[in-house]
Amino acid sequence: MAANLISIRGLSRIYRMGDNEVRALDQIDLDIAEGEFVAIVGPSGSGKSTLMYVLGCLDRPSDGSYLLGGVDVGALDDAALSQVRNREIGYIFQSFNLLNDLSVVDNVALGLVYAGEDPARRQETAQALATRFGLGNRLSHTPNELSGGQMQRVAIARGLACRPRLVLADEPTGNLDSRTGAEIMAMFRRLNAAGHTVVLVTHDPGVAAQADRAVRIVDGKIVSDESNQRPAGEPSSSSGSGRLAAGGDIADVPKPQGEGVIKSGDTLRIAVHEGLLAHKMRSALTMLGIVFGIASVIAMTAITEGGKQRQLEQIRQIGMNAIQVRSLNLDGARLLAQRRVNPDGITTEDLTSLRRHIDGIEASAAWKELKAEVRLGDRLATDATPQGVTGDLQAVLDFHVEKGRFLDAGDESAAARVCVLGADVAASLEATPGSAVTVGDQLLTVVGVMGRKAYATSEISDIAISNRNRDVYLPYSTLRAYYRKVIRDTQVDAIALRMASDEGLVERSQLARRIVSDLHRGAEDFIVSVPLETLRQAQATREVFNLLIIVIAAISLIVGGIGIMNIMLATVTERTREIGIRRAVGASRRTVLAQFLAEASMLSLTGGIIGLLAGVAGALAVEAVFGFTVAFDPLIAVLAVCVSVAIGIGFGLYPAWKAARMDPVEALRN
């Protein structure tokens, strides 16, 4: 006598519908031995399908016990029950329950996916099984391209792929013609002869008579349990249709070697191929909110960062820790009014007083522009800007000689007739140290040529930037000695102080303002600016603008997230039967949750990547069309994509949880 594979005692399954109580199963006792072929027969509504779901660990009894192979399945958690369904039980459904987007091979291999089987090994196993069931020429076909008998063979092959001990068949011949039904029953007898325990649910007494034993159930109670006597000459386990007979022998099909946990790669594959790519247009429309949100963040931050870098470069042209005192550009009556109070404008005495009273000055300089042509022979340097300078201009501007030398104290004290050329002026005149150039009506000897300095026009208010590559420097004393008409409205155009650090720049600039104001007797003929502080204020304004853009982008992302949630909820509803099928072949709640979370994450990740590319393209287009400088921060890009994934996970969590909590029995009945 074989040991019992199934042992049921006092099992009941009660459904409550409002105040009514429906006893689908009522105090059932049933034993099924290892290797038996048992038919559970009864009319519609008798409880036979409910009993099959309980036997298959898809439903839990309300009362009583159920031992499968000596294990009390009622004490198992969801993960353990899922492994039992995957390894111990093979389901064969009346309606086939195949996944329409998968090929024959992938449908057969579905249980092996949740067994954690290696992809190559499971493909080999599924192809071998499908071929043995007469489907060798249909391996790449989808269920919609198969006949009813072929679909049933796929369903049987899927149920046997994990080499289960127990085969459960729910009305397996109900949707088939009589000839195909007979072939299917012959195959079940061969499976039973090969050692499989087969439990077949049917309402047809003729089908039930082909089993070794028939258990009749009515109104949730077992009313009879009888052995069937097959007449002599009935097809035995070695006969039957030749095509299906070969399929019945699966003794050499290897048992799964996986760890019983779906691989992460398979979860992602299911999410992409069976989720997103199965509904391409819907997926594309769903991710638009994410795309727009990420694209706007990337594009605007690139433009803003480019603006910051451009402004920073402009500040470097002046000097990072500089304080400037510049003459106001006055004319007419305004100039006359100020000159009545202060006849000389900004002077070198102002520079001397500032040096004396302000601490932390590292270098200082002053300059006065000269309106004059610069020539060498018959070559004219157009747009050249001659300037008389005093102090350490190189240190103040971080601008140094490349050839020869710069002006020194000896040149200043002697009012020497020498000059230093900017790089563009030297190039246009083809001048080198030692050349004699004419500045205005004076012949000066070139003693140095400056290195090239980056130049960009100022975008920051109160900051004056000139192209230093067009400058020509001569001693301030030389300018005063030989170009007397230049000193009219103001002795010096500007004074620049380079501080040792950027701490206290604002306070020192306020002190400079008071010193110069006192020297000018209150005349409002100058302005004091701190380029670095002005830059900070400009960037603070940009940050407010950035914040506004981020808020708009966040709204777009939230809208995109709501779209993902909405579509995922619709997807869960559409794919209810698929969820039930996956649960039947071994998917746990955790696995289903991971699958739908992966779909939402891949949807948002794809949207994030497309948005990133669109943002980069948009920023480059703005640069090309409008001339704005753009700069991309890799950290912002990574952060934006991570945020998009987080949006997908956050808004996909509820639909995924809903899918995972779905009752597998109700899902299969959908």
Give the model confidence (pLDDT) of 265-276 as tens digits: 999 999 888 888
**What is the residue extent of each domain of the chain?**
4-261, 278-311+537-669, 329-524
What radius of gyration, in Å, describes the C-alpha atoms of the chain? 44
Q: Which pLDDT value is given to residue 244?
A: 38
Mean pLDDT of 299-320: 67
Q: Which pLDDT value is given to residue 115?
A: 92
Judged by average pLDDT, the poorest of 240-244, 275-279, 484-488, 506-510 is 240-244
Answer whether 498's CB lies under 8 Å from 395's CB.
yes
Q: List % helix, strand, coil for the chain (3-state, nearest 5).
A: 50, 20, 30
Class level of CATH domain 4-261: alpha beta
DSSP β-bridge partners for residue 9: 65
Calpha distance 519→537 (Å, rounded): 29
Predicted confidence (pLDDT) per residue in 556-612, tens digit: 788 888 888 998 998 899 899 999 999 999 999 999 999 999 999 999 999 999 999
Q: Which pLDDT value is given to residue 310?
A: 65
Q: Which helix (H) or strand (E) holds 128?
A: helix 119-132
In order of 548, 556, 562, 643, the CA distances from 551 in angstroms are 5, 9, 16, 14
Q: Which pLDDT value is given to residue 179?
A: 84
Most confident listed range (244-248, 264-268, 294-298): 264-268
Judged by average pLDDT, the poorest of 155-169, 196-210, 421-435, 483-497 is 483-497
Answer whether 557's CB lies under 8 Å from 647's CB.
yes
Answer whether 426's CB lies under 8 Å from 449's CB.
yes
Mean pLDDT of 288-314: 77
Mean pLDDT of 528-545: 66
Residues contacting residue 581 through CB under 8 Å, at least 6 positions apart? 97, 98, 99, 110, 668
The two beta strands, 374-376 and 379-380, are antiparallel
pLDDT above 90 for 468: no
Q: Which pLDDT value is given to residue 304?
A: 77
Place 385 in a pLDDT band, splitting at 50, 70 and 90: very high
pLDDT above 90 for 414: yes
Q: Which pLDDT value is given to residue 278?
A: 82
Mean pLDDT of 402-415: 95
Place 461 in a pLDDT band, splitting at 50, 70 and 90: very low
pLDDT above 70 for 64: yes
pLDDT above 90 for 336: no
Sheet holding 213-218, edge to edge: 89-92, 166-170, 197-202, 37-41, 213-218, 221-227
Predicted confidence (pLDDT) per residue in 218-237, tens digit: 999 999 999 887 554 444 44
Answer whether 49's CB lies under 8 Å from 81's CB.
no
Q: Which pLDDT value is given to residue 235?
A: 44
Place 316 in a pLDDT band, splitting at 50, 70 and 90: low
pLDDT above 80 for 455: no
Mean pLDDT of 521-527: 87
The alpha-helical segments, DSSP class H, found in 496-588 are 505-519, 531-574, 576-584
Mean pLDDT of 120-131: 91
Q: What percent of the chain has pLDDT over 90?
A: 50
Answer whether 115's CB lies under 8 Å from 123's CB.
no
